[in-house]
Amino acid sequence: MRKQLFITLCFTVLSPAWVQADDSLSWSYLDASYIDLDTDVNGIDAEPDGYKLKLSLNVIGNLFLQASRTESDGRNYDFDSEGYGFGFHGDFFYASYTYNTWDFGSIETDVDTLRFGLRSQLTDRFEFNASYSWNDIEDFENEDGFQVGLVFQVVDFLDLFAEYETIGGDYDFDQLSVGVRINF
């Protein structure tokens, strides 16, 4: 069901009436967001909440670098993560690799993530983004994930955004993020 919804959203956004090959999308930004997580690992259910910081820098041509930090506290378990990666983008699509370290309670896990996504300027102020991720989670089977988000431009350098991401399988992970983005 998740895959069908994701594919439908992608085709809707990629239809020629919606897609604008627009240079106004910034690949250099700092995100600060509140996150609400719902995780289930080997029968251990946790629902921590916290914050996420993400830095993206367009360095040369279509190459960008990214770094992120998440800290969250829950009643049973905490979830913290760090990620470092790089990617390449076109007018409205991107592909990236991220090396992540997830700390779930006292269990630390390495995760390699390949992400293929799109960013589309729907109007002058609204951006739609979505992605598919393949996650190689240490000591687990590889898991697929999906992300969908909406960004609203308040002024040239400041955006508000909301995003939902899910990873299924043995490592069930759902994250809702709401935050601000500073473009530079």
Tell me the per-residue pLDDT of 18-72, one tens digit each, with 9 for 90 and over.
444 455 789 999 999 999 999 887 677 788 999 999 999 999 999 999 999 999 9
Classify residue 133 by burial, with Cβ atoms within 10 Å: 0-12, 13-18, 19+.
Answer: buried
Q: Show Cβ contacts of residue 133 under 8 Å, excluding neighbours closer than 6 positions.
A: 113, 114, 115, 116, 144, 145, 146, 147, 167
Which architecture, in CATH terms, is 2-183?
Beta Barrel (2.40)
Which residue type sits at 82?
A: E
pLDDT at 139: 82
pLDDT at 10: 47
Stretches where the chain sits below pLDDT 50 are 5-21
